[in-house]
Copies of this chain bind each other. A is one copy, B any other.
């Protein structure tokens, strides 16, 4: 079995273990299978998937450490010299069965290329029937973790998340956001033109590698505190078949985002990654209905109103259930 090389890879491997253990405890019946794999160009990973559980219909938590040579056009897009790279991290998407429990995504990674190294990642929540208190809880936990490192990081990374998880063809955010950051821990002058163009929120001040890694550890530990209380609170709520169908329809947007826009998917497919590990993020069951729109004044219409950037923790607080 592939052994993690270096402190970051080891940390992420242990994080995968801890998160899977916590999710199994929560689910009670589901167990994560372990699927180790190697990559032709160098490195490999460990994909862990729980299917058909009590709480989770499909939960995927992937750890990987890959290295090798990027193709030239892609290498030019990233900071650092040359085409050699190493990337390690975990990526997870949890699809619950009950439509009252939100789907969640998180990703924590470190990339090295030539003379540059940086951290990227984040966590974001996609509820089907959003509850304003749940959304605030999720953001509040992430905000606290950010505030322990820098007073401005939450607002910067929250906005980055809103901008990134956006479906222009739907004029909708993917969910209610969270935080997203990238190029953390490299000097601003190492950001090349094309990368900078796509990363208007990248920090302009230098952040030491140890500071960046400390932040990533803190945020990744906060992730379960942000998500699990929401699951615990909602997982036993009864739901109807029409609520289930609404969930399947909303999952279609998740698929659209991941295949049309997601940079992790693009990166994975372009670096000859393992297809099943990249696409394990796709929901287990999905529906597309032509030109469906929820009826006005329904819980479904209210849910759609959450799909734009909101200042969830700001002074002008939305009412419960109504953003």
Interface residue ranges, A against B (CB under 8 Å): 35, 47, 49, 51, 58, 60, 169-170, 248, 252, 255-256, 259-260, 269, 275-276, 278-280, 282-291
Contact = CB atoms under 8 A, between A and B. Distances in A.
A58 B290 contact: yes
Contact of A282 (B248, B275, B288): B288
Nearest to A272: B169
Contacts of A58: 288, 290
Contacts of A256: 259, 279
B288 A287 contact: no
A170 B284 CA distance: 18
B275 A169 contact: yes
Contacts of A279: 169, 256, 288
A2 to B, nearest CB: 17
A283 B252 CA distance: 10
B291 A276 contact: yes
A64 B228 CA distance: 48
A47 B291 CA distance: 10
A252 B282 contact: yes
A284 B284 contact: no
Contacts of A287: 284-286
Contacts of A60: 290
A282 B260 CA distance: 13
Nearest to A282: B288
A168 to B, nearest CB: 8
A4 to B, nearest CB: 22
Contacts of A260: 259, 269
A141 to B, nearest CB: 29
Contacts of A49: 290-291
Counted per complex, copies of this chain come to 2
Residue picked from A35, A283, A290, most chain B C-beta under 10 Å? A290
A278 B269 CA distance: 24
A51 B290 CA distance: 8
A276 B255 contact: no
B284 A280 contact: no
28 contacts: A47-B290, A49-B290, A49-B291, A51-B289, A51-B290, A58-B288, A58-B290, A60-B290, A169-B269, A169-B279, A170-B275, A248-B285, A252-B282, A255-B255, A255-B259, A255-B286, A256-B259, A259-B260, A260-B269, A280-B290, A282-B288, A284-B287, A284-B289, A285-B285, A285-B286, A285-B287, A286-B286, A286-B287
Contacts of A259: 255-256, 259-260
Contact of A284 (B169, B269, B278, B288): B288
| Residue picked from A58, A284, A291, most chain B C-beta under 10 Å | A291
A169 B265 CA distance: 11
Contacts of A278: 169
A280 to B, nearest CB: 5
A39 to B, nearest CB: 14
3 closest A-B pairs by beta carbon, nearest first, are A259-B259, A282-B288, A276-B291
Nearest to A169: B275
